[in-house]
Amino acid sequence: MVKNVSQSTEQAQWQRKRVQAHKQHVKSLDRRRTMASLLWYLPALASLTLLQSSAITQPCEENYDWHVMEFLRWMERMNQPPQEDNEQLDQTLSKFFVDMYQEDAMPSYGEKVLAGLGHRLPYQVGTLSSKFPGASRSLKGWRRLKPARTRPPLPFDALLLIAAALAAFHKVSMGIAVLLGFFCYLRPRELTDLLASQLLEPTGGPTTSAAATAFTTWSILLHSFEGLKASKTGHFDENLPLDSEWLSRWIGPFLAALKCGRKGCKFLWSFTHEELLATYKGVMAQLGLSALVNSLYGLRHGGASHDTLHAFRPALEVKLRGRWASDKSLLRYRKASLAQREANKLSQAQRSAARKIAEMPEYYFNNLDETRALLQPLFR
């Protein structure tokens, strides 16, 4: 039985790598076509050197290029000529922003177009606002008329119900995954792309030293320097100890079972990002949690808001753990009052079930029949 499970896991890992390799190949072809179109419409764009291209991450560069291509497709539809200088490009961008605003697009759309053009114009002096003054002014008005929407945080009680339901009705590893996403403030792709080597076992004996906490608890190491793949904010070796008192007292054996037998280069999970997202949304609907945000980003924002609401961490520690580069980002996503408001949307029966799981998490994650019996009355 164990051998069959191992073979099934090996096949899933191999298939997943094959799909990712195919996606990378398709992206590479798209990028070549993108650059050909860019050079036709915007002859001022430069061919980037390796170092200039590496100033941002590859996913970020691909995202920028996609947004610039959307701008170029609009230029085609509007029969715009090739843009010979920045002044002409600035006027065209201002018209484009007006059209996008009228189509109900968010200001972040325009921000990425501007940032993408700035990335492809490395030899022009000045900031984006000085290169494109008219477009930058339009973008400021766009932000004022359409303020950015923030995904509400997932409350702790809802997290417990979702994690327990995922474990009891689908896979235990899915339940553990959403708990890690919540307590480590992980971005969705950071969570689902975790490798076995990034989950680090505790070492040494008990200690009261705060500095040694990371060595006596399980922890996650993101964006290791050896992999030469920086984080979204350009940092390496981001260490996230699983130091929550509630979590650390019982989750160790489950993490050990996840890591057991997996080589360091293999994914920690046997499911894909798409599988987790679809199952996560389905479980929320079944539990009657449709009034809450069903994005995996709710885990990241929920963890930060939960620690703030209950004063488990000071603001600076929340910022460092969330790896937010600015106080503005921290203020946007650390919403303790929103977490409290979202928690008030749960029914008395849902809160009662969550309270039981919170009191005995190890029992309910080990005795799945009992967990199913507890959650079944909540299912719709």
Distance of alpha carbon 321 from alpha carbon 326, whole angstroms: 13
User: Token pair 């051998």 is at which residue?
Assistant: 3
Is 132 in the same domain as 160?
A: no
Would you say residue 49 lies in a domain?
yes
> Angle 44-50-55 (CA atoms, 0-180°, nearest 5)?
85
Tell me, yes or no, whether 223 lies in a domain: yes
Residue 72 contacts residue 114 (beta carbons within 8 Å): no
Whether residue 269 sits in one domain with residue 298: yes
Phi, psi of 267 (to 5 degrees): -65, 145
Spatial distance between the Cα atoms of 310 and 328, rounded to a whole number of angstroms: 21
Sequence-distant (≥ 6) Cβ neighbours of residue 347 within 8 angstroms: 288
169 and 124 in a single domain? The answer is: no
Mean pLDDT of 10-30: 63
Residues 81 and 187 in one domain: no
Q: What is each CA distance from 302 to 178, 255, 277, in whole angstroms?
A: 11, 22, 16
SS3 351: helix
pLDDT at 212: 44
> Of all residues in the chain, what percent carry a pLDDT higher than 90?
43
> Would the pLDDT of 230 be above 70?
no
What is residue 43's predicted lDDT score, i.e. its pLDDT?
62
Residue pLDDT, tens place only, 60-108: 888 888 888 888 888 878 888 777 778 888 999 999 999 999 988 889 8
Does 233 map to a domain?
yes
Classify 219 as helix, strand or coil: strand
Is the residue at 280 inside a domain? Answer: yes
Query: What's the whole-model pTM score?
Result: 0.73
The answer to whether residue 15 scores a pLDDT higher than 80 is no
| Domain co-membership, 122 together with 268 | no
pLDDT band at 325 (very low <50, low <70, confident <90, very high): confident
Residue 241 bridge partners (DSSP): 219
Residues 173 and 274 grouped into a single domain: yes
Phi, psi torsion values for 35, nearest 5 degrees:
-65, -35
Residues 162 and 141 in one domain: no
Report the CATH number at residue 176.
1.10.443
Place 275 in a pLDDT band, splitting at 50, 70 and 90.
very high
Asked whether residue 90 falls in the same domain as residue 66, the answer is yes
pLDDT of residue 282: 95
Q: Which of 145, 170, 198 is the last residue of a domain?
A: 145
Domain boundary among 85, 119, 145: 145
Task: Residue 141: give the domain boundaries.
Answer: 21-145
CA distance 229 to 337: 35
**Residue that terminates a domain, selected from 145, 168, 191:** 145
Residue 364 lies in a domain: yes
165 shares its domain with 291: yes
String of DSSP letters for 123-192: TS-S-HHHHSHHHHHHHHHHHHHSPPP-PPPPPHHHHHHHHHHHHHHT-HHHHHHHHHHHHTT--HHHHH
pLDDT reported for residue 135: 94
- Is residue 150 included in any domain, yes or no? no
Asked whether the beta carbons of 139 and 107 are under 8 A apart, the reply is: yes
pLDDT score for 9: 56
Looking at the structure, tell me whether residues 259 and 323 fall in a common domain: yes
202 shares a domain with 340:
yes
What's the total number of domains in the chain? 2
Contact by Cβ (8 Å): 150, 331: no
DSSP-assigned letter for residue 267: B
Same domain, 195 and 322: yes
More confident residue, 109 or 47: 109
Structural domain includes residue 7: no
Does any domain span residue 13?
Answer: no
pLDDT of 79: 83
